[in-house]
């Protein structure tokens, strides 16, 4: 349903590719008077008429911005999806930052709408999962680490705000993994590896969402009123083996030691940072989400299917360079060593070893 009045929109994480694109789409809307973008670092490209404010959402300063600028709509995109340092830093940004932001929204009398980027990672990845997740399904095994666990906590805080501020229109969007030529993530770095390690015996079902479709969904949720929780992904499902064949990447199956072992080893090598255990479980068990609720609510279908998003990514993707090649080969070698059965003990040397033996002659001895 269309918005009733012009608004002042605040976009978090505006210095990242998704935040910058969403801000650009919103500033072109005639019904939006101002777009304010916040982040801890300045953007590398021009934001047009979006007003940039350098502020850390983990601090009370974000409440001053929302109050002084009379923000009535917040689009929260500033969630760290891959570790770029200590896990504690990532968790602090995702959890503490969201708590401070939501507290500021709760106190502001001007607030009327909140749009939050979440992730389909909240469903986890498990061999006991349903074939397709709807928005009301619970995971067989709740995420216990990394960004997936953070996303679950963030959604809990959002639901708490909804109980305290029933007048707010809140849209919670669970995105599949973004894939396209402009996306840089642990998944795209994995797909750019010249030799791709896979887990022996696993061929997961995967879904993707193209940034163009992600931006359009976020724009629609901001300028229109669509409260609720929605899964977001492009049409279609691809197997990991299909993805790698279309990418022209040779793969090396390694034994299933454990997803944690793969993650622990991967994080030790250049080019494999960000490979958390929840991502690696996804690359083993996969995940498929049902997006029919979003399609019915918006009367809209994504422009890019999973296959089209992959093709767009592959047009710009190049194999990794030699340091990454060495890292992957070393990782695969280590996995092979860990999976190799112990060697059988050799018998001790005979006390006659080294002596010359004379074969017996035929016939009886004289």
Phi-psi region of 13 (alpha: psi -120 to 50; beta: other; left: phi over 0): left
Question: What pLDDT shows up at residue 279?
Answer: 79
CB atoms within 10 A of CB 363: 6
Residues in CB range of 192: below 8 A, 6 or more apart: 317, 318, 319, 320
Rounded CA separation 230/253 (Å): 35
Q: Band of the pLDDT at 366, cuts 50, 70, 90?
A: very low
Question: What pLDDT shows up at residue 206?
Answer: 98
Q: Band of the pLDDT at 224, cuts 50, 70, 90?
A: very high
Question: What pLDDT shows up at residue 359?
Answer: 52
**Mean local confidence (pLDDT), 158-165:** 97
DSSP per-residue string spanning 155-192: HHHHHHHHHH-TTSEEEEEEE-EE-STT--SHHHHHHT
**Mean local confidence (pLDDT), 242-262:** 79
Q: Place domain 7-339 in its CATH homologous superfamily.
A: NAD(P)-binding Rossmann-like Domain (3.40.50.720)
The answer, yes or no, to whether residue 343 has pLDDT greater than 80, is no
pLDDT digits (tens, 9 = 90+) for 79-132: 887 766 667 788 888 999 999 999 999 999 999 999 999 999 999 999 999 999
Helix (H, G, I), strand (E, B) or coil at 110: coil
**Mean local confidence (pLDDT), 34-54:** 95
Question: What pLDDT shows up at residue 270?
Answer: 42
Question: What pLDDT shows up at residue 272?
Answer: 53
Residue spans per domain, the chain: 7-339
Rounded CA separation 75/212 (Å): 17
Residue with token string 């005639």:
30
Question: What pLDDT shows up at residue 196?
Answer: 85
pLDDT digits (tens, 9 = 90+) for 13-29: 999 999 999 999 999 99
Residue 77's Cβ-count burial label (10 Å; 0-12, 13-18, 19+) is buried
Answering whether pTM is above 0.75, one says yes
């Amino acid at each position: 349903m269309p918005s009733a009045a012009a608004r002042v929109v605040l976009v978090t994480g505006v210095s990242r590719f998704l935040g910058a694109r969403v801000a650009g789409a919103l500033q072109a809307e005639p019904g939006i008077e101002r777009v304010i973008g916040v982040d801890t670092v300045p953007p590398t490209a021009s934001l047009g008429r979006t007003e940039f404010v350098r502020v850390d959402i983990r601090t009370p300063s974000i409440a001053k911005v929302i109050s002084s600028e009379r923000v009535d709509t917040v689009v929260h995109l500033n969630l760290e999806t891959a570790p770029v340092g200590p896990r504690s830093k990532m968790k602090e940004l995702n959890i503490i930052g969201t708590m401070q932001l939501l507290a500021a929204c709760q106190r502001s009398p001007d607030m009327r709408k909140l749009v939050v980027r979440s992730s389909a990672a909240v469903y986890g990845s498990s061999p006991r999962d349903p074939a397709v997740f709807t928005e009301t399904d619970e995971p067989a095994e709740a995420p216990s680490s990394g960004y997936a666990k953070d996303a679950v906590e963030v959604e809990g805080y959002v639901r708490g705000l909804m109980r305290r501020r029933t007048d707010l229109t809140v849209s919670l969007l669970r995105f599949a993994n973004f894939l396209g030529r402009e996306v840089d993530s642990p998944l795209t770095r994995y797909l750019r590896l010249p030799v791709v390690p896979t887990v022996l015996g696993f061929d997961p079902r995967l879904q993707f969402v193209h940034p163009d479709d992600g931006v359009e969904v976020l724009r629609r949720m901001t300028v229109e009123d669509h409260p609720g929780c929605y899964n977001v992904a492009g049409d279609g499902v691809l197997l990991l083996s299909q993805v790698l064949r279309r990418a022209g990447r040779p793969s090396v199956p390694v034994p299933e030691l454990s997803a944690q072992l793969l993650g622990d080893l991967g994080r030790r090598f250049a080019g494999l940072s960000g490979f958390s255990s929840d991502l690696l479980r996804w690359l083993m068990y996969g995940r498929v989400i049902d997006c029919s609720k979003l399609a019915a609510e918006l009367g809209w279908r994504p422009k890019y299917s999973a296959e089209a998003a992959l093709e767009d990514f592959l047009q710009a993707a190049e194999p990794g360079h030699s340091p990454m090649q060495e890292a992957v080969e070393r990782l695969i070698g280590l996995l092979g060593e860990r999976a190799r059965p112990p060697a059988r003990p050799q018998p001790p040397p005979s006390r006659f070893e080294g002596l010359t033996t004379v074969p017996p002659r035929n016939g009886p001895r004289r």
